Amino acid sequence: MWIYEKKLEFPINIRKPDARLAKIMIEQYGGPDGELGASLRYLSQKFTMVTPEAKATLNDIATEELGC
């Protein structure tokens, strides 16, 4: 059993957009080892979980991966 709290570990506040850093971050999404691939694996594993808490946890992990 565990306690699940949906909150960011480190709150973010973007003050000034940086195109160079954005390009580097976008590169991390591509490929089989990128963030998008990891998110899709979490989403597909969600459907094999038995408890609703486990499903919700995997869903939130996957959507946070995509949202960052």
Residue 4 maps to a domain: no
Q: Report yes or no on 46 lying in a domain.
A: yes
Instruction: Report the b/e string of 6-32 with b at 16+ CB within 10 A.
Output: eeeeeeeeeeeeeeeeeeeeeeeeeee
Q: Please classify residue 44 by burial: count the beta carbons closer than 10 Å to its beta carbon, then call 0-12 exposed, 13-18 middle and 19+ buried.
A: exposed
Residue, of 56 and 65, whose pLDDT is higher = 56
Does some domain include residue 54? yes
* DSSP structure class, residue 16: S
The answer as to whether 6 is a domain residue is no
- Per-residue model confidence (pLDDT) at position 63: 83
* pLDDT one-digit tens code per residue, 34-48: 777 888 888 899 999
Counted domains in the chain: 1
